[in-house]
Amino acid sequence: MQASEHQLVEQRRPQPPAPVNSVASGSSALLDPLELESLKLIMDASLRVHARHHFFSWTQGLLQNLVKHEALICALRNAEPMSFHVESFSTSPLEPALFSDMFRRDTSMVPHLIKTWEENSYRPVVCETGNASPFAQSELGREFNRIGTDTVVGHGTYDAFGKPASFFIFACQSQAMNPKQVYCVELIVPFLHQAWVRTQIDRPVDSAAVQPAGGAGLLTSREQEVLK
């Protein structure tokens, strides 16, 4: 009976307007053994992220092995509804604050992504941002296109009241986006949230409490091998 009621609710739920696509949860069967090992290493490395430069190295290095992206926008909700602390990370030669400011000013793409994510039972959503997209002429859409991306994947975390706690946008090229990539986003976002929140804590970066055992670096030799 419970499953039937859930299906009925899903059928009555209004469908999000194009071009944002709701995505069903994936399966570990999508990943081969090497990708599963890489995922394990990525999750393990996230536990050693305690500063912004750690986070950059992790997301723009090891994480790229599973979720290829040109830019990553991270938003953490403030006390006020739909008010976010925002940072962006990219290997492209751009000013990191640029995407952050555009995210805060955006009144079309960002609210639509978050609303669709909520209506999709908090599962990842995929949105086209290319020339054919209604969002192509938005300030954020134009900047995504300028760095050579035409698709974004949005996913986040939520609090006990079902309100967004954090939201992450991966700007990607459409040819690199597939169900496997979206599934990896769904798996990694809880670790992404925890790692990024730790970078917001005001404490000395060189504290002994945040140093890996034995003074090892952020990436182990095996993790560096997987990156190659």
Residue of 94, 95, 103 lying closest to 152 (CA atoms): 103
Q: What is the pLDDT of residue 25?
A: 60
Element (H, E) at 105: helix 96-105
Print the SS3 string covering 151-215: EEEEEEEECCCCCEEEEEEEEECHHHCCHHHHHHHHHHHHHHHHHHHHHCCCCCCCCHHHCCHHH
Number of domains in the chain: 1
Does residue 213 form part of some domain? no
**pLDDT-based confidence at residue 19 (cuts at 50, 70, 90):** low
Does residue 207 form part of some domain? no
CA angle, 32 then 36 then 41, to 5°: 150
Does residue 214 form part of some domain? no
d(CA 171, CA 174): 9
Does residue 165 form part of some domain? yes
Which residues constitute the domain of residue 50? 18-24+31-201+219-227
Query: Bigger pLDDT: 109 or 205?
Result: 109
Q: Mind listing the pLDDT tens digit for each residue in 52-101?
A: 999 999 999 999 989 999 999 999 988 776 678 999 998 777 777 888 99
Does residue 101 form part of some domain? yes
d(CA 14, CA 35): 35
Do the beta carbons of residue 174 and residue 21 sit within 8 Å? no
Say if residue 210's pLDDT is above 60: no
Do the beta carbons of residue 209 and residue 198 sit within 8 Å? no
CATH number of the domain to which 117 belongs: 3.30.450.80
In DSSP terms, which residues pair with 210 in a beta bridge? none
Model's pTM, two decimal places? Answer: 0.78
Does residue 1 form part of some domain? no
Does residue 93 form part of some domain? yes
d(CA 18, CA 51): 38
Does residue 10 form part of some domain? no
